[in-house]
């Protein structure tokens, strides 16, 4: 069994915030893989389904970002899911908008949601980092992530969340490179090959 967590803040006022891109990604997973209806459990919302033949619990903590670990720990204890079988999707200001990276373990880089999870379940979970860009000034980061994506961001946000949802089965199987390859191809499709030069034309 796997625990797939999308980070964000609850309520319609936060729905389109940069900080909520984790929510957006798991919403897309639930839609595209026909998971069950959302239910209120573990201080959050839960949906259940299967990925690559494995039972998966999707969780959106509703404790507000800074206390996300309470919700994650509650679900993990109930289902007896180890950190190694937990995947957390979250926003990342240190990556350019739309850039996706995945890793296991590591630091939280000041992300308060990750810091909370680290304190409750440890660091040995997998993280899918979705770049939202940096405002350029450290003092305004808090306001920046709590503001909505701009209209010009909507295309890449949709493309990225769909790409993650389409590639998530590879991640469920533990294939981090395969997951990244599928996401990269979907968000940055290879340029069409140029046709070979016309040999007859060169002879004229």
Question: Is 19 part of the annotated catalytic residue set?
Answer: yes
Catalytic residue (one of 19, 43, 111, 120): 19
Let me know: does 158 contact 107? Beta carbons within 8 Å.
no
Q: Is-contact 61 115, C-beta < 8 A? A: no
Going by C-alpha positions, the residue among 173, 162, 168 that lies closest to residue 54 is 173
Question: How far is the C-alpha of 65 from the C-alpha of 176, rounded, in Å?
Answer: 25
The β-bridge relationship of strands 126-131 and 100-104 is antiparallel
The answer to whether the CB of 124 falls within 8 A of the CB of 117 is no
Q: What is the set of active-site residues?
A: 19
């Amino acid at each position: 069994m796997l625990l797939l967590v999308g980070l964000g803040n609850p309520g319609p006022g936060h729905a389109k915030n940069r900080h909520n891109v984790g929510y957006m990604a798991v919403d897309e997973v639930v839609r595209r893989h026909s998971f069950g209806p959302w239910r209120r459990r573990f201080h959050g919302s839960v949906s259940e389904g299967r990925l690559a033949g494995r039972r998966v619990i999707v969780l959106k903590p509703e404790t507000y970002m800074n206390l996300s670990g309470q919700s994650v720990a509650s679900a993990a204890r109930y289902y007896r899911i180890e950190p190694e079988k937990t995947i957390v999707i979250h926003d990342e200001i240190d990556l350019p908008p739309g850039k996706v990276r995945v890793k296991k373990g590591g630091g939280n880089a000041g992300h308060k949601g990750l810091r909370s999870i680290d304190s409750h379940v440890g660091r040995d979970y997998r993280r899918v980092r979705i770049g939202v860009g940096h405002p350029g000034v450290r003092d305004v980061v808090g306001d920046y992530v709590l503001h909505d994506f701009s209209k010009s961001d909507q295309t890449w946000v949709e493309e990225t969340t769909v790409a993650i949802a389409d590639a998530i089965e590879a991640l469920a199987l533990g294939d981090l490179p395969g997951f990244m390859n599928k996401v990269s191809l979907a968000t940055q499709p290879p340029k069409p090959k140029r046709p070979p030069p016309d040999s007859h034309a060169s002879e004229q």
